[in-house]
């Protein structure tokens, strides 16, 4: 991330990003609802070269029993990367990064799931990264949101996530692998969206170097990107559930 590195890595050429995108342009997002038979809700999502699959089980009896809360459901979120999802094989099982991502992602979903409707139960959200190309935590959250809707879990809103980055001094939306590796900063957001509007920030992390003004610019860009993803999440859900109505 030093200056020498930036000179070597030219990530923006003629005002365009290496993959041809504009600064505030998302990668292509594909979402499919209800792709797993056994899970109560599921979703397959692609975001550029990212491929992830989310499954929701529950509300079901929470185990172990001492974890149960008599007044509300407990939510578990497990972010996991497949060993083959990255260039260098990743050792299976949770590493420290996955534990942290799972924690902050769960905290975002706890804001929208109406836990008090499901006392003593557990709602499990499992997300597997099949192929990683930066922005996996955001893509997983977007998939998990759709899977929760597919499972029929009552929610006060939907969670939609996207990251911004700084590369070659420019703020860009939804960085891909090279921008993430050689960029100067990375800032993932997850927003709570209700009635088609962003209500609050549910997840926020950042590392790198950003000025106050760059953060403001990044947040504006992230909000715009999140609304685009939100529309795709909606479409994916409607695609699956509107068939009966049409007939």
Partner 1 sequence: MGEDILSDIKRDYVLSKLGEDERVDGRKLDEYRNIEIETGIISKAEGSALVRIGNTQVVVGVKMQPGEPYPDTPDTGIIITNAELVPLASPTFEPGPPDENSIELARVVDRGIRESEAIDLKKLVIDEGKVWIIFIDIHALDDDGNLMDASSLGAISALLTTTVPAEKFDTGDNYPLPVRDLPVSITSLVADGKILIDPSRDEMSIGHRLITITSDQKDNIVSIQKSGSYHLTEEKFYELIEISLTKSKEIRDMLGKI
Q: Does 200 bind partner 1 (CB under 8 A)?
A: yes
Distance CA 107, CA 97 (A): 16
Q: What is the strand order of the sheet 74-81 is part of?
A: 29-33, 41-47, 50-61, 121-131, 74-81
Which residues in 76-135 contact partner 1 (CB under 8 A)? 88, 96-97, 99-100, 102-104, 106-108, 110-111
If you search the block for the tokens 């795709």, which residue do you land on? 232
CB of 203 to partner 1, least distance (A): 6
CB of 39 to partner 1, least distance (A): 24
Q: Does 205 bind partner 1 (CB under 8 A)?
A: yes
Q: Does 146 bind partner 1 (CB under 8 A)?
A: no
Choose, by CB under 8 A, the member of 90, 120, 177, 199 that binds partner 1.
199
Distance CA 51, CA 73 (A): 29
- In eight-state DSSP terms, residue 90 is P
**Contacts with partner 1: how many residues (CB under 8 A)?**
35
CB of 63 to partner 1, least distance (A): 19
Q: Which is closer to partner 1, CB of 59 or CB of 188?
A: 188
Q: Does 216 bind partner 1 (CB under 8 A)?
A: yes
Residues composing the chain = 247
Distance CA 131, CA 51 (A): 5
Q: Does 164 bind partner 1 (CB under 8 A)?
A: no
Q: Do residues 144 and 45 touch, judged by C-beta distance below 8 A? A: no
Q: Does 203 bind partner 1 (CB under 8 A)?
A: yes
Cα→Cα distances 18→23, 47, 224, Å: 11, 16, 21
Q: Does 221 bind partner 1 (CB under 8 A)?
A: no
Q: Which is closer to partner 1, CB of 57 or CB of 77?
A: 77
Q: Residues 20, 223, 160, 94: is their CA dihedral positive or negative?
A: positive
What tokens appear for 165 in the block?
Answer: 């980055």
Q: Does 169 bind partner 1 (CB under 8 A)?
A: no
Q: By CB under 8 A, name the binding residues for partner 1.
A: 1-2, 88, 96-97, 99-100, 102-104, 106-108, 110-111, 185, 187, 192, 199-212, 215-216, 219
């Amino acid at each position: 991330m030093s200056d020498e590195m930036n000179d070597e890595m030219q990530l923006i050429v003629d005002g365009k990003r290496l993959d041809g995108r504009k600064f505030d342009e998302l990668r292509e997002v594909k979402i499919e609802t209800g792709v797993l038979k056994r899970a109560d809700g599921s979703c397959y999502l692609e975001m550029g070269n990212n491929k992830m699959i989310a499954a929701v089980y529950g509300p079901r009896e929470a185990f172990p029993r001492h974890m149960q809360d008599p007044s509300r459901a407990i939510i578990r979120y497990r972010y996991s990367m497949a060993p083959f999802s990255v260039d260098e094989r990743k050792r299976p099982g949770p590493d420290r990064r996955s534990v942290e991502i799972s924690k902050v992602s769960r905290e975002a979903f706890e804001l929208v799931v109406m836990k008090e409707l499901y006392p003593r139960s557990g709602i499990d959200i499992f997300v597997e990264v099949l192929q990683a190309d930066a922005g996996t935590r955001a893509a997983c959250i977007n998939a998990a949101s759709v899977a929760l809707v597919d499972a029929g879990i009552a929610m006060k809103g939907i969670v939609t996530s996207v990251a911004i980055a700084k590369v070659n001094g420019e703020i860009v939306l939804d960085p891909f692998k090279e921008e993430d590796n050689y960029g100067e900063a990375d800032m993932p957001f997850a927003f709570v969206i209700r009635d088609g509007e962003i209500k609050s920030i549910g997840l926020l992390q950042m590392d790198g170097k950003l000025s106050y003004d760059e953060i403001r610019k990044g947040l504006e860009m992230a909000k715009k990107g999140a609304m685009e993803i939100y529309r795709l999440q909606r479409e994916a859900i409607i695609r699956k559930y509107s068939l009966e109505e049409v007939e």
